[in-house]
Amino acid sequence: MKRRPHKIVSVVLLVVLIAGMGMACRIQSLESRNKRWAENTETAGKILTESGKKEAQKQTDGTENDAAAQNAKRVFGDEPAELYARSAVLMDADSGRVLFGKDADVVRPMASTTKIMTCILALEYLREHPDQTIEVSDQAASQPKVHLGMQKGEVFYIKDLLYSLMLESHNDAAVMIAETIGGSVEEFASLMNEKAAAIGCTDTHFVTPNGLDASDAGGDHHTTAADLARIMRYCVWISPKAAQFLAVTQTRSYTFWDLEKKNMFNCYNHNALLDQMDGAVSGKTGFTAKAGYCYTGALERDGKRLIVSLLACGWPSHKNYKWADAAKLLNYGLESYMYRDVLDHSWNPGQIEVADGVYDGMLQVKSSARLTLTSPALDPARSLPALLKETEIPEKDIFLPELLKAPVKKGEKVGSVTYSIDGILLAEYPVYAAETIEKIDYGWCMEKVAERLFCHSSV
């Protein structure tokens, strides 16, 4: 049979052509699908679009130095790698440990997330003044939007205005509360700063009770993502009025009147995370032209308590960036961290030398007592659960002296053992003397000498 090379070549070319057309169609299909996927997930925050990057790049608050700007994308932790927020924190509310941070300690304005501090101070004030009323002042009535629209001379209960403050973020309600509790906005700001310091905030300064941008002798109104998370943690789970804070911030709608029943006001909750995520328990939004969109929220699920805080999380028209970032961080915490018992059940403090302490046995030239130690950490029923990644191992530090001096009484604290991670103390257990060791005295020495003489005479 005669070969026809040209026909074989034609067939091969035809096959290659068909395969190429198929591959081109496949690529076009993938590109089309990816385009639709990107469009559908932009609002949900699955990817950071170029327009979002450009918008974030355009905005500046004028307060960051060059070093902070260079670190704007710095993060620690494995995931998530990309967030819209310039500063963000995910915190374990039980320990106060920052699980994830992006420029967590960079100073930024925080807009109406300020109002969580105003609210908790008001709730703690109401413990002794449950039915406190307030009359609208000129300053309160003149506050810019967002506001309740109250008129000078109207009278309200503080407990009603808390819903105006937290559900609708009304600026006039914040000023009225501040004037009543502090005597003035300035004095109330001092109370806010005192509370921030007591909570453990390291770089927060309050000037206004509503978060509107302002400055005073202490500097600009500002916080950090880490400090904002600390404040939220206090409000939701530490304050003696935490339950009331949760009740206010979880309320979906609230209606109230002024004291004379002339005007009725309706408030609606704008914390979308309450509906978007199972376990969301509280939150507060904020926005100013300088701060951008801000948010702090709390979630409790699967035995975990998490706090999220976001600063400078986009500017108009990117109002939904904060919901995408909040969900991404909270899901990261839920998926990447688990509670583990980190107590070292094999540890035993053993014994310690006690100088000049009485001891058993014959009198010797050089000898000392040995003290047996005990600790609550030795209880086999005890555990120390800590929220950790699978690869994380807490540090255990033992603080015991090399030598004690007699006398030592049973139950006396002689040291401690601590467990910590990332500089956060998880637990500290005292170490006690398990017995009493008296100090050597003349009578004990004479007794030992007599014992030694008796032994020699017996021999």
Active site residues: 112, 115, 169
With CA atoms as reference, report the closest residue to 357 among 434, 442, 441: 441
Query: Does residue 141 contact residue 150 with C-beta atoms inside 8 Å?
Result: yes
User: What φ, ψ does residue 118 adopt, rounded to 5°?
Assistant: -60, -40
Distance of CA 388 to the CA centre of its chain: 15
> How much of the chain is helix, strand and coil, in % rounded to 5?
35, 25, 40
Name, in order, each residue with C-beta under 8 angstroms of 303's C-beta and a sequence gap of 6 or more: 339
The span from the CA of 328 to the CA of 337, in Å, is 14
- Here the tokens at position 107 are 């100073």
Distance of CA 42 to the CA centre of its chain: 27
- Could you list the beta-strand ranges (E) of 233-346: 253-257, 264-268, 280-288, 292-301, 304-311, 338-341
Strands 403-405 and 351-355, how do they pair?
A: parallel
The span from the CA of 312 to the CA of 224, in Å, is 11
Query: Does residue 371 contact residue 435 with C-beta atoms inside 8 Å?
Result: yes
- Here the tokens at position 459 are 């021999």
The angle formed by the CA atoms of residues 313, 282 and 209, to the nearest 5 degrees, is: 70
The span from the CA of 71 to the CA of 208, in Å, is 28
Name, in order, each residue with C-beta under 8 angstroms of 229's C-beta and a sequence gap of 6 or more: 89, 91, 98, 296, 307, 308, 309
- DSSP-assigned letter for residue 361: S
Taking every pair of Cα atoms in the chain, the longest distance, rounded to a whole number of angstroms, is 127
Name, in order, each residue with C-beta under 8 angstroms of 227's C-beta and a sequence gap of 6 or more: 196, 201, 202, 203, 204
Query: Does residue 27 contact residue 35 with C-beta atoms inside 8 Å?
Result: no
- DSSP-assigned letter for residue 125: H
Task: Give the H/E segment covering residue 194.
Answer: helix 185-199
Crossing angle, helix 171-182 and helix 185-199, to 10 degrees? 90
**Cα torsion at 351, 357, 360, 362 (round to 10°)?**
130
